[in-house]
Structure 1
């Protein structure tokens, strides 16, 4: 499969926010930014995550393209249910995909490099599955709640209250522009932030 074919599956130049599924026996899902540049594709995964351990071991995963905000938020802060996954065969292996993704592209890792903090790899597309080619207009509520989730993970890592202010601004846009699923995702995110605050010194209310 050529890198140029990724356009058909929603992975274009720049950084595409996808949900990475990995783990042959115990599937795991987590949002990451997949980097496509100069007809090459890369990932960077940080140590300490299940995704890192799975990809390090198997050197294969699926990039799932979806506009479902609930899948992004749930996979950021918790494990999805077994029924959220399906499996696709590749070279005698079974790769977990998200059942409800619009498309899924299976990648294998090449030129893997490890540092103390992370691993980086050029990734090669091996196959793809398309479940839904229906177009969807950009919704600012969706992009804002995903951005808020990114800020929430940074707040969890650093305890820096500036991220709480950024989250507030993002969710203002979500509640103004989003549909019901975007708003439901925002509520789940706020509940997760309340839990994070219990473990972060100096946290403040987001209300």
Structure 2
């Protein structure tokens, strides 16, 4: 599969926010930024995550394109249920995909570089599945809730209250511009942040 073909599956130049599914035996889903630049594609995965361990072991995964904010938030803080996955056969193995994604692209890892904190892999597209070609306008509520989820993971790692302020700004946009699914995702995100605050030293009061 040529990299130029990825455009029609929603993975374009720059950083595409996708949900990566991995794990042959126990499927896992997690949002990541997939980097496409100069006709090459990369992922960077940090140690300590299930996604890191799965990709390190299996050397393959699927990049799922979706505009569903609930899938982004739920897969950020917990694993999705088995009913959310379907499977794609590749070289006698089965790779998990998201059932409700607009499209899914199956990748294998090429060159992998390891550091103390992470691994970076150049990845090769093998095949793709398109489930939904319906156009959808950009909704600021969606982009804001995804950005808030990213800030939440950084707050969990660092305990820096500046991320809480950024989350508040994102939430204001989501509740102003988002539809019901964006607002439902924001509600879940705020609950998860309150749980994170209980374990982060120096966090703001939850009231």
Does the pair score TM above 0.5?
Answer: yes
Alpha carbon RMSD of aligned pairs, Å?
Answer: 0.8
Q: Residue 164 of structure 1 contacts residue 206 of structure 1 at CA under 8 Å; is this kept in 2?
A: no
| CA deviation vs aligned residue, 1:38-60 (integer Å, no higher than 9, x gap) | 01000000000000000000000
1:117: which partner in 2? 117
Q: TM-score, normalised by structure 2?
A: 0.99
1:99: which partner in 2? 99
1:77: which partner in 2? 77
* Stretch moving more, 61-70 or 194-203: 194-203
Query: For the residues of structure 1 that align with 2:64 and 2:169, how far apart are their CA atoms?
Result: 27
Matches within 5 A, 1:163-174: 163-174=163-174
Query: For the residues of structure 1 that align with 2:45 and 2:6, how far apart are their CA atoms?
Result: 21
Q: Residue 88 of structure 1 contacts residue 94 of structure 1 at CA under 8 Å; is this kept in 2?
A: yes
Moved over 2 A (4+): none
Q: CA deviation at 1:206?
A: 6.3
2:191: which partner in 1? 191
1:5: which partner in 2? 5
1:34: which partner in 2? 34
2:44: which partner in 1? 44
Query: For the residues of structure 1 that align with 2:93 and 2:4, how far apart are their CA atoms?
Result: 25
Corresponding residue SS for 1:138: coil
Corresponding residue SS for 1:120: strand
| CA deviation vs aligned residue, 1:64-109 (integer Å, no higher than 9, x gap) | 0000000000000001000000001111110000000000000000
Corresponding residue SS for 1:126: strand
| CA deviation vs aligned residue, 1:162-195 (integer Å, no higher than 9, x gap) | 0000000001000000000000000000000000
Q: Structure 2: where are the runs of 5+ without partners?
A: none
Q: Structure 1: where are the runs of 5+ without partners?
A: none
Query: For the residues of structure 2 that align with 1:202 and 1:96, how far apart are their CA atoms?
Result: 39
1:127: which partner in 2? 127
Q: CA deviation at 1:202?
A: 1.5
Corresponding residue SS for 1:132: coil
How many aligned positions are there? Answer: 207
